[in-house]
Amino acid sequence: MSRINKIALKAAKANRKLLIPYLVAGDPNLQTTASLMHKLVEQGADIIELGIPFSDPSSDGPVIQRSVERALAKGTTLNQVLELVAQFRETDADTGIVLMGYLNPIEAMGYKIFAEAASSSGVDGVLTVDLPPMEAAELNSVMRSNQVDTIFLVAPTTREERVASITEHCSGYLYYVSLKGVTGAALIDFDSVTANINKLRGMTALPIVIGFGIKDAQSAAAMGKLADGVIIGSAFVEKIALLADQEKHDEQQLSDTVKVITEAREALDKLV
């Protein structure tokens, strides 16, 4: 059983909603990303989605685009992201780590080298935004043989007959995109999410988490009611943008930055 499976199972037994913050590795620098990751765990994150910076993030809105540009300006590479995870694992064996990004940096490294490095660094899952299931057979097979989960998205536009081909390739959790658009967009249609999540429940036993457009405790609670967990990206990354590029940040600065996550945890815990 993978670490993500264990986390999800344990949460389900405890009636706890999964809280999954997203941040871009290397913004404002890798040391700060590491400090933030530990702070997130302290504030109740169950899994962390770590963004691999890519020059052309065509599924991301302006907040994450700018974060990626800052990380790239620091020269952040996929190799360094993997090292960051390995370093994080030295003191944390419980929190799930999912790498989220685009295919080209993984292609450039080579699927096999990437899969082995991800596995040995302690990465639990990989979500490649621009790699749909029908193109994913090769990468999936090497990830699976290295015990790394492959996570896929379902969108409001996904046709019902496609869901089976997605869940077949998906392990760990299923990521439901709450809206039509890019990360950080504003309008979630609550009724449509409810209907679609209910439909998905009948089609898969995978834990379902909701992301895109969750910006505060209130929206986290609303989405948390429907799903097994929520992902908070842009609303958190927006706060990271305010951090100065320095090696050390004091506790207060880190706490202020992760405040949206702290509040989301409280709101999610009140649901049960």
Partner 1 sequence: MSKLEDFSAVVDTAVFDGPDASGHFGPYGGVFVGETLIAAVEELAQVYEKLSSDESFWAEYDSELKHYVGRPSPLYFAKRLTDSAGGAKIYLKREDLNHTGAHKVNNTVGQALLAKHMGKTRIIAETGAGQHGVASATVAAKLGLECHVYMGAEDIIRQAPNVYRMKLLGANVISVESGSRTLKDALNEALRDWAANVDNTYYIIGTVAGPHPYPKIVRDFQCIIGREAREQSLEQIGRLPDALVACVGGGSNAIGLFHPFLKDESVAMYGVEAGGYGLATGKHAAPLSAGCAPGVLHGNRTYLMSDEAGQVLETHSVSAGLDYPGVGPEHSWLKDKKRVNYVDATDEEAMKAFHQLTRLEGIIPALESSHAVAYAMKLAATLPRDKNIVINLSGRGDKDIETVAKIEGIEL
Catalytic residues: 49, 60
Task: Give the residue from 261, 269, 268 showing the smallest Cα distance to 37.
Answer: 261
Report, in Å, the least distance between residue 167 CB and partner 1.
13
Tokens of 64: 């994450």
Tell which residue, 207, 181, 192, 193, has the closest CA to residue 96.
Answer: 207
Least distance (Å) between residue 71 CB and partner 1: 11
CA distances from residue 245 to 29, 31, 36, 52, 251 in whole angstroms, order as listed = 7, 10, 13, 19, 15
Q: How far is the CB of 211 from partner 1 (least distance, A)?
A: 12
How far apart are CB 181 and partner 1 at their closest, in Å? 4
Closest to partner 1 by CB, 88 or 102:
102
Of 21 and 105, nearer to partner 1 (C-beta) is 105
Q: Cβ neighbours of residue 186 under 8 Å, at least 6 residues apart?
A: 213
For partner 1, the closer CB: 182 or 261: 182
Residue placing its CB nearer to partner 1 in the complex, 57 or 125: 57
Cβ neighbours of residue 250 closer than 8 Å, sequence gap 6 or more? none
Residues that bind partner 1 (CB under 8 A): 54-62, 65, 69, 72, 77-79, 102-109, 129-132, 134-135, 152-159, 162, 166, 177, 180-182, 185
